[in-house]
Amino acid sequence: MQKGEEDYLITLLEKNIFNDFLSEKEFLHFQSEVWDLLAQRTKRYTMGDSSSIPVEVAKELLKSIGYCVLVYSENIEAIEAHIDVKKAFLLGTSEIERQVEFGKKLFLSISKKILPVENYFYQSVYEDIKTFFSNYDYHFFAHQVVCTPRYPLMQPIDKKYGIEYINEYLMKFNIENKFCRHFDIDAINQLVLSYALDGKIQYINIFELVFFNAIGLMLIDGDILKLKICKKEGKQLVNIFSSMSDDLCKRKIENAINELIERFHFNGSTEKMYFSHTALLLFKRIISRTNKHSLAGIFVICDNGISEQSIELTLADEEMMEDEALRELIDQITDCQVTSEKIILVKRNIHSLRDLVEVLNICFWGKECIQFFQTLETVELAILLYFIEKQQTTYMSWQSESRWEIQFKNYIEQLNGSKKQQIKNVISQLSK
Amino acid sequence: MDNQVSLIIVNMLKSQAINELRECNDYTVRFGLFLEEKQILELVNKRFEALKETERIEFSQGILKKLIYEFCDSPYISNDNYEEILWELIDGFYYFKNESLDLLSDDELLSIMKKYFDTVCEGSLDYLMSTSLEDLCRSTRYREKIED
């Protein structure tokens, strides 16, 4: 039985895995202690209002007891913990309480340093962790991760539950952020856009993009702070890797990361280990390419930037979808449970203004509209505003089913002066 | 969880329940209601069966004693139909605890069941289970959704 398996207590109750350590009698005593504890917890859970609970709830309460015992048994001999279950449970609960306080402080400190990276999932970290701490009930369901953060870490967390999962997530997120803070935010955002046109809503780890490109630039003596690897530099990297053995490749990468660690003054052993492990992942990805002539998908190779003009053309000039295809897409969007999924579908499939308006008319309501508008470029905002003004001039009574145009106008109204001016400038060009 | 300790605990709970029902007879006899030993054993087994069917679990004294105390003064229960009605009420009670998403406490549900049984349902268990309690549980769930 491995630590971290949340149903370990249930398995323990079903079979005696301590054959060598506990006698039959001792094991029966252990089991009856667990049942007694479960009965007590059930009574507290129902506040004495119910004599019975659903079996599923009882299982969750039991898993929570097991988790508390496991948290405690980190610190003492595991077998001793299993014999005095009640003591282990109480002390484990105290330890969890302490970890919750630690996690809240860490979250508070991290939340002040979240970077203004233009990526939906990165920005969702604050809300997700806040939701976790609001809903986490360590008294009865200590093992549950009541809200799993949507933003993916470079090194995912395995076999952790409850507050331990969140604390490890926060620590890793903090390390990744510390690294990224050494770079200009505009450079990071440009990197995200270079990764994908819809990088703002892509499910990506920002640290991975920054870290890999920084290492790549180190290897070719480039300017690591600009994070940009142009096509020519990309070819340089290909030449370097294809001409060296795997061992040499690994050493080069290790040297590069050591230099970065020294340059950015990372002194903590946890941080160094995190970066070393990430560098190892980079190495494995490179050597897994049988043909090192292509490193696409490992490093982000930047073109000369994506102009807003080209986005405008993408929106206005593309063909409308076939009716049936659009209907299917609208059904798919309507079935989405979360706004981010709706936005992804729109970004990937809608290429004409008419289709976009059709989708907005039916599929986006209330706050969902605002979340979508936040992913739009200045030119896209200008085009939509121009469209609304034209519609309302031509057809006095025009309004959409979802009233998205009202949300849109309110959204435009609360933008800063400079952005509003940019939108005005684009509209004046469109009007010519 | 079929193992030795579960069996020990279940047997312990059963004998506790049997003793309780014997004690209940001292109270219910004034209403002309009395359970024979065989009926007591069958009722206790019925309780565990109902728990299993509704996928619920009880750790302490069960609901039987409260159920009997609540219903024993009903004008629609006589010694002839006493056991049969208790059987149905046990089934119904656990079923509606699930249907109400455990939003009703034991006391609340028992009180409502008794009130409807004696008034609107005029002693009809069918009417109680298929109409009154269904309506109650639906509105309980709906109220919960509104609060969300």
What percent of chain A has a predicted confidence (pLDDT) above 90? 42
Contacts of A39 in chain B (CB under 8 A): 59-60
Distance from CA of B101 to the nearest CA of A (A): 9
* Nearest residue of chain A to residue B47 (CA atoms): A52
Give the angle A235-A239-A241 at the CA atoms, nearest 5°: 115
Which of the 8 DSSP states describes residue B81?
T
Supply the pLDDT for residue A324: 85
Query: What's the one-letter identity of residue A61?
Result: L
| Subunit contact A54:B56, Cβ cutoff 8 A | yes
| Subunit contact A52:B63, Cβ cutoff 8 A | yes
Which of the 8 DSSP states describes residue A84?
S
Contacts of B98 in chain A (CB under 8 A): 54
Distance from CA of A31 to the nearest CA of B (A): 7
Q: Of A10-14, A221-225, A349-353, which has the strongest mean pLDDT?
A: A221-225
Among B5, B55, B97, whose Cβ lies nearest the Cβ of A55? Answer: B55
d(CA A375, CA A393): 27
Residue A127 tokens, joined: 């809300």
A143-196 pLDDT tens trace: 999 988 999 999 999 889 999 999 999 999 999 999 999 999 999 999 998 888
| Subunit contact A52:B9, Cβ cutoff 8 A | no
Among B9, B58, B98, whose Cβ lies nearest the Cβ of A51? Answer: B58
Read out DSSP for A243-310?
Answer: TS-HHHHHHHHHHHHHHHHHHTT---HHHHHHHHHHHHHHHHHHHH-S-TT--BTTB-B--S---HHH
Contacts of A52 in chain B (CB under 8 A): 51, 56-58, 62-63, 94, 97
pLDDT surpassing 50 at residue A308: no
d(CA A352, CA A66): 55
Residues 10-49 of B with CB under 8 A from A: none
Confidence band for A430, pLDDT divided at 50, 70 and 90:
confident
Residues contacting residue B89 through CB under 8 Å, at least 6 positions apart: B67, B71, B113, B125
Closest Cα to residue A35, out of B5, B44, B47? B5
Residues 76-95 of B with CB under 8 A from A: 94
A9 touches A63 (CB < 8 A): yes
d(CA A432, CA B50): 78
Give the angle A140-B145-A143 at the CA atoms, nearest 5°: 20
Residues contacting residue A298 through CB under 8 Å, at least 6 positions apart: A212, A282, A285, A286, A289
d(CA B79, CA B31): 9
Distance from CA of B63 to the nearest CA of A (A): 7
- Test the B interface: residue of A22, A31, A51 with most B CBs within 10 Å: A51
pLDDT surpassing 50 at residue A312: no
Q: Does A54 touch chain B (CB under 8 A)?
A: yes
| Subunit contact B59:A39, Cβ cutoff 8 A | yes
Read out DSSP for A66-81?
Answer: HHHHHHHTTTS-HHHH
The complex's ipTM?
Answer: 0.87
Contacts of A35 in chain B (CB under 8 A): 5, 9, 59
Supply the pLDDT for residue A20: 58
The radius of gyration of chain B's CA atoms, rounded to the nearest angstrom, is 16
What percent of chain A has a predicted confidence (pLDDT) above 70? 87
Closest Cα to residue A400, out of A413, A412, A387? A387
| Subunit contact B3:A32, Cβ cutoff 8 A | no
| Subunit contact A35:B9, Cβ cutoff 8 A | yes
A45-60 pLDDT tens trace: 999 999 999 999 999 9
Confidence band for B5, pLDDT divided at 50, 70 and 90:
low
A88-137 pLDDT tens trace: 899 999 999 999 999 999 999 999 999 999 898 999 999 999 999 999 99
Supply the pLDDT for residue A88: 87
- Test the B interface: residue of A52, A61, A135 with most B CBs within 10 Å: A52
* Nearest residue of chain A to residue B59 (CA atoms): A39
Residues 52-71 of B with CB under 8 A from A: 55-63, 66
Angle between helices A323-335 and A353-363 (to 10 degrees): 40
pLDDT surpassing 90 at residue A427: no
| Subunit contact B58:A52, Cβ cutoff 8 A | yes
Distance from CA of B125 to the nearest CA of A (A): 22
Q: Which residues face B57 on adjacent strands? A: A53
Confidence band for A19, pLDDT divided at 50, 70 and 90:
low
Q: Does A55 touch chain B (CB under 8 A)?
A: yes
d(CA A14, CA A19): 13
d(CA A27, CA A50): 30
A12 touches A85 (CB < 8 A): no
Confidence band for A291, pLDDT divided at 50, 70 and 90:
low
Supply the pLDDT for residue A77: 54
* Nearest residue of chain A to residue B63 (CA atoms): A51
Supply the pLDDT for residue A263: 93
pLDDT surpassing 80 at residue A247: yes
Residue A12 tokens, joined: 């323990």
Distance from CA of B14 to the nearest CA of A (A): 15
Helix (H) or strand (E) holding A345: helix A339-349
For residue A68, the Cα-to-chain-centroid distance in whole angstroms is 27
Supply the pLDDT for residue A216: 94
Q: How many CA atoms lie within 13 A of A191 on its CB side?
A: 29
b/e for A25-54, b at 16 or more Cβ within 10 A? eebbebbebbbebbbbbbbebbeeebbbbb
Among A31, A42, A54, whose Cβ lies nearest the Cβ of B59? Answer: A42
Residue A364 tokens, joined: 């986006």
Supply the pLDDT for residue A219: 93
Distance from CA of B80 to the nearest CA of A (A): 28
Closest Cα to residue A281, out of A219, A183, A207, A189? A207
pLDDT surpassing 90 at residue A279: yes
| Subunit contact A50:B62, Cβ cutoff 8 A | no
Averaged pLDDT for residues A347-364: 86
Confidence band for A251, pLDDT divided at 50, 70 and 90:
very high
| Category of A47 on φ-ψ map: left (φ > 0), alpha (ψ -120 to 50) or beta | left
**Position with higher pLDDT, B1 vs A368:** A368
d(CA A401, CA A398): 10
For residue A70, the Cα-to-chain-centroid distance in whole angstroms is 28
Question: If you count residue pairs, one on A and one on B, with CB atoms under 8 Å apart, how many are there?
Answer: 61
* Nearest residue of chain B to residue A25 (CA atoms): B5
Q: Does B50 touch chain A (CB under 8 A)?
A: no
Averaged pLDDT for residues B1-10: 61
Angle between helices B64-71 and B82-99 (to 10 degrees): 120
Averaged pLDDT for residues A315-324: 66
Distance from CA of A37 to the nearest CA of B (A): 10
Distance from CA of B7 to the nearest CA of A (A): 11
For residue A26, the Cα-to-chain-centroid distance in whole angstroms is 46
User: What does the mean pLDDT of chain A come to?
Assistant: 84
Residues contacting residue A90 through CB under 8 Å, at least 6 positions apart: none
Q: How many CA atoms lie within 13 A of A18 on its CB side?
A: 21
Q: Does A306 touch chain B (CB under 8 A)?
A: no
pLDDT surpassing 50 at residue A315: no
Among B1, B58, B60, whose Cβ lies nearest the Cβ of A14? Answer: B1
Q: Does A50 touch chain B (CB under 8 A)?
A: yes
Coil/strand/helix, residue B67: helix
Supply the pLDDT for residue B98: 94
Averaged pLDDT for residues B64-91: 95
